[in-house]
């Protein structure tokens, strides 16, 4: 069974490299303190690794 992750954007993407900004848009994290729930697939984990310093990640279930 694939784990679910709760991801919260804690810091703004303003002034960050374009790659980081595009990654956040791809994750649907467009505003600070916005939460999303995603499945922990290798693709998503790679995206989260790029912006790990901007987000807070919690495992669900």
Beta-ladder partners of 56: 8
Beta-ladder partners of 36: 7
Domains of the chain (ranges plus CATH)? 4-60 (3.30.1390.20)
Q: Residue 50: which region, alpha, beta or left (left: phi > 0; alpha: psi -120 to 50)?
A: alpha
Per residue in 47-60, pLDDT tens?
A: 999 999 999 999 99
Per residue in 6-51, pLDDT tens?
A: 999 999 999 999 999 999 999 999 999 999 999 999 999 999 999 9
């Amino acid at each position: 069974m694939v784990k679910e992750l709760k991801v919260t954007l804690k810091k703004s993407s303003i002034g960050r490299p374009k790659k980081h900004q595009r990654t956040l848009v791809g994750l649907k994290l467009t505003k600070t303190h916005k939460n999303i729930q995603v499945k922990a697939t290798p693709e998503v984990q790679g995206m989260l690794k790029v912006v790990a310093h901007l987000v807070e990640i919690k495992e669900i279930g």
